[in-house]
């Protein structure tokens, strides 16, 4: 079946130069946690409630997919869901391919849990998702006994057929990837024996934390996570913290304008995701963690961001990149405003996101007059004056929001093209940014 999508109007951001972010801001719920909350609640026995749910298109794709497989999900409010779990073996065959839009998280995690079902199904996505690499999850699932077909390029659509039974494996992942790890752990719940994933570095541990909250015994150690098959999930209420990846745009927007003082409320500060805090601190930004507390197994805090008179250029290597992979586009903007040359290495994963983010950011910065040299695994960015100009976001939500914030330091208007996908992760971004002090207007073209 062909993957058919209705063309949405093109969205363009027009930004006047200058301004300053001020006051208190709460960004929407964490996307990674919202995805997992819906998935795990659907597979649990009993009724779970999710508050703080990110009502962005990516997470709505996950919700619609589980509804299509027979899970009753009530959306009591945009950010409040009640999920009537069907248990590990209660999903039903969907009537049509599951359209996951732009969401790589949905597709990779669901590959694992669908590999253990007794029915066949197909997962499709938009043009961007259909270019993203899926062999990294498909190949280890095949080692477990899964029957999954991809295109010749190893991309979606993914066709999953019932297997004769999954077997646990010990898998050494060549990359540190929370999506691969999570997909294999979910498949491991359906497998005979123990499934172990070993990684060469740190990846997000939202899956391990939340599985435990749903009653699953998860073994964790230095670079290792494992589950035993046959465990069931028990219903659990989930309070989703504000997304640190979404907060990053405001953190960087505040950091690049001297005199800025911004408070971001109830932000998740999971230690596998907090690299942006360390990066900005090394660049000279004062970031205070206030009112630290625990929210549903996840650490949260209110972040006060105070800009320095001048950001410092730094070297950002693989260890920090791993803890801030989704935040790196905004880091490129901070680097463009810093004194000296910032060198980013170990970031080759940015090449296979919703766009080639290294190329997109360097091309965009050069369009605004900044010296940015792309490298295979990163970039060299020499801070300077940001001029006005036009930037193509390439349909990538994080590229679009990063360049929107760049206008705060520009000496002329900036136009950002192809911004419709911002709603996949941050519905209401433009309105919230405008209230905080960004001079942004949104225009649509049919």
Q: What percent of the chain has pLDDT over 90?
A: 96
What residue spans define the domains of the chain? Answer: 10-29+242-445, 31-239
Whether the CB-CB separation of 440 and 430 falls below 8 Å is answered with yes
Looking at CATH, the fold of the domain delimited by 31-239 is given as: UDP-n-acetylglucosamine1-carboxyvinyl-transferase; Chain (3.65.10)
Q: Give the pLDDT score at 5.
A: 44
The neighbour count for residue 219, using CB atoms within 10 Å, is 12
Residue 440 clears pLDDT 90, i.e. is over it: yes
The DSSP symbol for 396 reads -
Radius of gyration of the chain (CA): 21
Residue 6 clears pLDDT 60, i.e. is over it: no
Confidence band for 446, pLDDT divided at 50, 70 and 90? low
Cα atoms in the 13 Å half-sphere on the side-chain side of 188? 27
Tokens for 238?
């989930």
Q: Give the pLDDT score at 398.
A: 97
Residues in the chain: 446
Catalytic residue among 30, 58, 99, 326: 326
Using alpha carbons, select from 402, 427, 426, 403 the residue that is nearest to residue 415: 403
Using alpha carbons, select from 310, 315, 317 the residue that is nearest to residue 285: 310
Residue 23 clears pLDDT 60, i.e. is over it: yes
Residue 21 clears pLDDT 90, i.e. is over it: yes
Instruction: Indicate the angle between helix axes 104-115 and 31-43, nearest 10 degrees.
Output: 20
Residues 6+ apart with CB under 8 A from 351: 357, 358, 359
Q: What is the pLDDT of residues 227-274, one digit of tens each?
A: 999 999 999 999 999 999 999 999 999 999 999 999 999 999 999 999
Residue 363 clears pLDDT 50, i.e. is over it: yes
Whether the CB-CB separation of 359 and 367 falls below 8 Å is answered with no
Q: What is the pLDDT of residues 421-431, one digit of tens each?
A: 998 899 999 99
| Mean pLDDT on 388-401 | 97
Average pLDDT, whole number, for the chain? 96
Residue 8 clears pLDDT 80, i.e. is over it: no
Using alpha carbons, select from 313, 312, 311, 292 the residue that is nearest to residue 301: 292
Whether the CB-CB separation of 281 and 314 falls below 8 Å is answered with no
Residue 302 clears pLDDT 60, i.e. is over it: yes
What single string gives the DSSP state of each residue in 19-38?
A: E--EEEE-PPBPHHHHHHHH
Tokens 């309070």 locate to 239
Residue 30 clears pLDDT 80, i.e. is over it: yes
Biggest CA–CA distance in the chain, Å, is: 63
What three-state secondary structure class fits 374?
A: strand
Q: What gap in Å lies between CA 326 and CA 419, rounded to an integer?
A: 17
Residue 4 clears pLDDT 70, i.e. is over it: no
Query: Does the pTM of the predicted model rise above 0.85?
Result: yes
| Mean pLDDT on 175-179 | 94
Residue 432 clears pLDDT 50, i.e. is over it: yes
Q: Give the pLDDT score at 1.
A: 37
Instruction: Indicate the angle between helix axes 178-189 and 206-213, nearest 10 degrees.
Output: 30
Whether the CB-CB separation of 11 and 401 falls below 8 Å is answered with no
Q: Give the pLDDT score at 239.
A: 96
Q: What gap in Å lies between CA 240 and CA 266, rounded to an integer?
A: 10
Q: Give the pLDDT score at 297.
A: 85
CB burial of residue 38 (10 Å; 0-12, 13-18, 19+)? buried
Tokens for 344?
């980013």
Q: Give the pLDDT score at 3.
A: 43
Q: What gap in Å lies between CA 168 and CA 444, rounded to an integer?
A: 49
Residues 6+ apart with CB under 8 A from 397: 354, 419, 421, 422, 423, 424, 425, 426
Answer yes or no: 392 catalytic: no
What three-state secondary structure class fits 78?
A: coil
Q: Do domains 10-29+242-445 and 31-239 have the same CATH topology?
A: yes
Q: What gap in Å lies between CA 115 and CA 132, rounded to an integer?
A: 19
CATH superfamily ID and name for 10-29+242-445: Enolpyruvate transferase domain (3.65.10.10)
């Amino acid at each position: 079946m062909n993957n058919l999508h209705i063309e949405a109007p093109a969205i363009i951001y027009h930004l006047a130069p200058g301004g300053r972010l001020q006051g208190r801001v709460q960004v929407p719920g964490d996307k990674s946690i919202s995805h997992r909350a819906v998935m795990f609640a659907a597979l649990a026995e009993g009724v779970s409630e999710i508050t703080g749910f990110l009502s962005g298109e990516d997470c709505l794709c996950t919700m619609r997919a589980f509804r299509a497989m027979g899970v009753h999900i009530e959306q009591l409010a945009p950010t409040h869901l009640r999920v009537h779990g069907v248990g590990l073996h209660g999903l039903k065959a969907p009537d049509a391919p599951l359209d996951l839009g732009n969401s790589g998280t949905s597709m990779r995690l669901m590959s694992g849990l669908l590999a253990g079902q007794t029915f066949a199904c197909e997962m499709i996505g938009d043009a961007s998702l259909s270019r993203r690499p899926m062999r990294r999850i498909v190949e280890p699932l095949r080692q477990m006994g899964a029957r999954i077909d991809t295109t010749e390029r190893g991309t979606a659509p993914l066709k999953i057929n019932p297997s004769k039974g999954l077997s646990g494996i010990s898998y050494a992942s060549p990359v540190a990837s929370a999506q691969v790890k999570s997909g294999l752990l979910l498949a491991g719940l359906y497998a005979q024996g123990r499934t172990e994933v070993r990684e060469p570095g740190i990846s997000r541990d939202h899956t391990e934390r939340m599985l435990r909250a749903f009653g699953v015994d998860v073994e964790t150690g230095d670079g290792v996570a494992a589950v035993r098959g046959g465990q069931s999930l028990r219903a659990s209420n989930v309070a989703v913290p504000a997304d640190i990846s979404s907060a990053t745009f405001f953190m960087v927007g505040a950091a690049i304008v001297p005199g800025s003082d911004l408070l971001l409320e109830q932000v998740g500060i999971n230690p596998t995701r907090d690299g942006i805090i360390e990066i900005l601190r090394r660049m000279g930004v004062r970031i205070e963690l206030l009112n630290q507390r625990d929210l549903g197994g996840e650490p949260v805090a209110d972040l006060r961001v105070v800009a320095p008179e001048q950001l410092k250029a730094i070297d950002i290597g693989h260890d920090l990149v791993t803890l801030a992979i989704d935040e790196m586009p905004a880091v490129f903007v901070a680097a463009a405003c810093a004194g000296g040359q910032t060198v980013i290495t170990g970031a080759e994963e940015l090449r296979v996101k919703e766009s080639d983010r290294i190329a997109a950011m360097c091309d965009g910065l050069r369009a605004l007059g900044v010296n940015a040299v792309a490298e295979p695994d990163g970039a060299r960015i020499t801070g300077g004056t940001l001029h006005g100009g036009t930037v193509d976001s390439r349909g990538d939500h994080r590229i679009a929001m990063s360049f929107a914030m760049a206008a705060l330091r520009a000496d002329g208007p900036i136009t950002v093209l192809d911004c419709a996908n911002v709603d996949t992760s941050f519905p209401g971004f433009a309105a919230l940014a405008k209230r905080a002090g960004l001079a942004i207007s949104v225009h649509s073209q049919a």
